[in-house]
């Protein structure tokens, strides 16, 4: 039986149990957000023993060499002494400068960082409610175009952080943010490359930032954005995106509705299926996928089979269970 030691507690791991699940199951509030090894909010450090290599995927070399690991992905095969990291994602504070409902369940949150904060459109930050409630939100803003940081937060049933944001957060309130992190970003250098952006729900947030970033930098290749929801009411920023479509001849916007009733001017069907119907040959394309994890997983595979190179498929899957 493998044992982990945290502080003065020695705990036995169940078969195939992660360090995160073991600690949280014993009432030890280790922060987490995505539970998929992406957000790095559950970063910990082994003070004795060697964490498995699978728990260090995606970490910087400096963190791996100092025995840091992701607790959600750590299923050790030897005893470990573990601790919270001395140096996790950079932390700063910000003031809430704006709150605006974009549709019935998505709030735009504007944050004014109180110290220099460098990021790229499409990355994400961790927003801290308290030590036990930290969630990842993608950045919809573009540093050179927007004065403040913009998040799109969807309210989820019983969401501990999203509910707090929608019901209690107020303009002028001071909050802690950590990051940024993530590589779902636009990289210049191939201005003629075709771009395909596919998102569901608040997955539009990083895509909106990536889109504006690319077009502002003079991207010349075709850019297609497919944003999907079950019904019309789940979509948002439609007016802004249609204005951009008129302004930039290389940009096309496809609002998708999967319900049985589809209003005129909208695309019928699930967003990833509609996108691949419209763009069935993806050789040479760069693909960005953001939103529901199952959609991202399916579309990543489909995009690869349609010819997109794995290095050109960028994904940001949203965890929908704990927000």
Query: Which has more pLDDT, 190 or 320?
Result: 190
Q: Cα–Cα distance between 222 and 267 in angstroms, integer?
A: 19
Partnered with residue 287 across adjacent β-strands are 196, 313
- pLDDT interval class at 96 (50, 70, 90): very high
* Domain range list for the chain: 3-83, 91-181, 195-317
**CA–centroid distance for 36 within its chain:** 11
Name beta bridge partners: 4. Answer: 11, 80
113 φ, ψ (degrees, to nearest 5): -65, 140
Architecture of domain 195-317: 3-Layer(aba) Sandwich (3.40)
51 cis-preceded (ω within 30 degrees of 0): no
Q: What whole-number distance in Å separates Cα of residue 281 and Cα of residue 100?
A: 38
d(CA 140, CA 317): 15
Distance CA 71, CA 13 (A): 13
The arithmetic mean of pLDDT across residues 30-55, rounded, is 89
The confidence score (pLDDT) of residue 16 equals: 93
DSSP string, 139-166: B---TTT-SSEEEEEE--TT-TTHHHHH
CATH number assigned to the domain covering 3-83:
3.10.20.30
pLDDT tens-digit readout, 284-300: 999 999 998 899 999 99
The whole-angstrom separation of Cα 215 and Cα 211 is 6
- The model's pLDDT over 247-284, given as tens digits with 9 standing for 90+, comes to 999 999 999 999 988 989 899 999 999 999 999 899 99
Superfamily holding 91-181: Translation factors (2.40.30.10)
């Amino acid at each position: 039986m493998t044992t982990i030691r945290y502080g003065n507690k020695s705990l036995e791991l169940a078969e195939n149990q992660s360090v995160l699940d073991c600690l949280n199951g014993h009432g030890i509030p280790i922060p987490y957000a995505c539970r998929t090894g992406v957000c790095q909010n559950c970063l910990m450090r082994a003070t004795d023993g060697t964490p498995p290599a699978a728990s260090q995927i995606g970490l910087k070399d400096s963190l791996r060499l100092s025995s840091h690991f992701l607790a959600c992905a750590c299923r050790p095969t030897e005893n470990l002494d573990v601790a919270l990291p001395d140096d996790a994602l950079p932390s700063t504070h910000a003031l809430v400068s704006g709150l605006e409902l974009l549709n019935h369940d998505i709030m735009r949150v504007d944050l004014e960082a109180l110290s220099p904060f460098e990021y790229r459109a499409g990355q994400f930050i961790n927003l801290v409610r308290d030590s036990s409630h930290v969630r990842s939100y993608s950045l919809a803003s573009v540093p050179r175009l927007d004065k403040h940081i913009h998040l799109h937060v969807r309210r989820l049933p019983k969401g501990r952080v999203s509910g707090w944001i929608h019901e209690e957060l107020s303009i002028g309130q001071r909050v802690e943010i950590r990051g940024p992190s993530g590589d779902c970003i636009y990289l210049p250098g191939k201005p003629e490359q075709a771009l395909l952006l596919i998102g569901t729900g608040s997955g539009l947030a990083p895509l909106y930032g990536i889109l504006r970033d690319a077009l502002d930098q003079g991207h010349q290749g075709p850019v297609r954005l497919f944003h999907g929801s079950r019904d019309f009411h789940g979509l948002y920023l439609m007016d802004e995106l249609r204005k951009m479509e008129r302004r930039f001849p290389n940009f096309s916007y496809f609002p998708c509705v999967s319900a049985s009733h589809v209003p005129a001017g909208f695309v019928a069907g699930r967003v990833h299926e509609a996108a691949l119907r419209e763009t069935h040959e993806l050789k040479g394309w760069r693909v960005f996928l953001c939103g529901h994890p199952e959609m991202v997983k399916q579309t990543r595979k489909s995009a690869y089979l349609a010819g997109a190179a794995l290095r050109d498929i960028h994904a940001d899957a949203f965890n929908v269970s704990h927000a």
